[in-house]
């Protein structure tokens, strides 16, 4: 496949946006999990489940889809715990 220069620019731009979103997601999810662990105000069931969801999201971003299936029960638990 031969690509023109504008195609390469678009590909580089798209990859940089994807990488930026990935690193922001990793940073913020990690920060949420660490904050949940360290803060004594966030010891409710709902907050702990949200922290675990963020941890599974970090693991999912750097590994395969296996850990995504582990987060689904936690998401449903958060919904039932907060309702």
pLDDT score of 53: 86
The DSSP symbol for 65 reads T
At 76, give phi and psi (nearest 5°): -65, -30
Question: Are 54 and 32 within 8 A, CB to CB?
Answer: yes
Q: Is the pLDDT of residue 82 over 70?
A: no
pLDDT score of 71: 64
Give 12's contacts (C-beta < 8 A, 6+ positions apart).
none
Instruction: Give the CA diameter of the chain.
Output: 57
Average pLDDT of every residue of the chain? 84
- Round to whole Å and give the CA distance between 50 and 77: 9
pLDDT score of 29: 94
Residue 83, classed as helix, strand or coil, is coil
């Amino acid at each position: 496949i031969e690509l023109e220069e504008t195609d390469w620019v678009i590909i580089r731009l798209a990859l940089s946006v994807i990488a930026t979103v990935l690193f922001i997601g990793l940073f913020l999810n990690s920060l949420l999990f660490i904050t949940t662990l360290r803060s004594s105000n966030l010891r409710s069931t709902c907050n702990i489940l949200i922290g675990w969801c963020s941890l599974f999201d970090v693991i999912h971003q750097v590994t395969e889809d296996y850990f995504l299936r582990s987060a689904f029960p936690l998401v449903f638990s958060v919904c039932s715990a907060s309702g």
